[in-house]
Amino acid sequence: MIYHYLLNFKKMNDNDRIEDLHSTFRQREAELREKYITPYLNSEDENYRMDLEAYTALFYGAIEDFTKKMGIISIEIAKEKWNQNREINDTVLSVTYFCMYTLSDKQKTSYVSQNKLIALSKVKNEQGQIISYKDAITKLIDYSCTEYRKQVFKYYGGIDYDGLAMILKPAGIDLIDNPDIESAFSDIKKYRGSIVHRMNAQEGITTLPSIRDVIDKVDYCLQFCENVKDQVIDKI
C-alpha cells in the first residue's frame, strides 16, 4: 500500500507531496474522531468501549502509515539532491549509517573489510573494477535507500518512541524531546495492544480510559506528526 501510494506522488513537487500526505492523515483522524469519539464528548453514555477500541486501533494504523511514508519521502529528497547537485545532507549521512550498521557480513564486502571501511579509492563495481569516488558514494546511497525501504515495509514493531526512532532517525528526522508526547505514544501503543491481541473483550483491561484522556494523548501524537512534516519540508 505504501509503495503504490508513493508511486502516485511522482507527478507532484516535494512540498505538495508532503502537505498532501499530512492533510490526508489529518483528515483520516478527523473522520475517525467524528464517527467514534465525538458522540460521547458531551454525553453521559458510558458504553463507549467498542467505539474507543475502533478509534484507537484505526488511528494507530494511520499514524504508523504516515510516519513510514514520511521517512521514505525524506530519503527520496536526499537521494535526488545527491543525484542532481552532489549535495550531501544529514539524511544521506543518516541513511548510509543505518545501512552500514544493519548490513549482513556478506553484504558489507563491497564497502567493509575486516570490520574497517574500505577506502573510497578501492571500492569496486560488480565487475571488480575500481570506480570513482562519486560513483562509489552513489552506489552506497542507492543501496542504503533500498535497504531502508525494505526495513520500513516489513517493520511492525509498534509506534512508541523506540519504534518511531527506528523508522524516522535513519531518514534524518528527529523525535521531539517531550516527555508528554513520548508518554502519549507509549500509552496509545499499550492500549492498542491490549485490545487487538485478545479474544475476550474484557481480558487485560482493568480500567477503561476516558474519552477525554485518549483524545488528549492523540492530540500529542498529532503535534508530533506536525513536527515530522515540518522537518521533512525543511529538507527540500
Q: What average pLDDT does the chain have?
A: 83
Q: Which domain range does residue 44 map to?
A: 2-234
Beta strands per DSSP E along 39-111: none
Beta pairing partners, 113: 116
Whether 5 and 69 have beta carbons less than 8 Å apart is answered as yes
Per-residue pLDDT reduced to its tens digit, 189-226: 888 877 766 555 555 555 678 899 999 999 999 999 99
Number of domains in the chain: 1
Rounded Cα distance between 86 and 45, Å, is 60
Burial environment of residue 139 by CB neighbours within 10 A (0 to 12, 13 to 18, 19 or more): middle
pLDDT of residue 200: 59
Rounded Cα distance between 155 and 231, Å, is 22
Whether 92 and 231 have beta carbons less than 8 Å apart is answered as no
Amino acid at position 175, single letter: L
Whether 204 and 194 have beta carbons less than 8 Å apart is answered as yes
Whether 70 and 232 have beta carbons less than 8 Å apart is answered as yes
- Give Cα 110 distance to the centre of its chain: 28
For residue 58, give every residue at least 6 positions away whose Cβ sits within 8 Å of its Cβ, in sequence order, or none: 32
Question: pLDDT below 70 — which residues of the chain?
Answer: 1-11, 102-122, 126, 157, 196-207
pLDDT of residue 235: 92
Whether 111 and 140 have beta carbons less than 8 Å apart is answered as yes
pTM of the model: 0.83
pLDDT of residue 117: 54
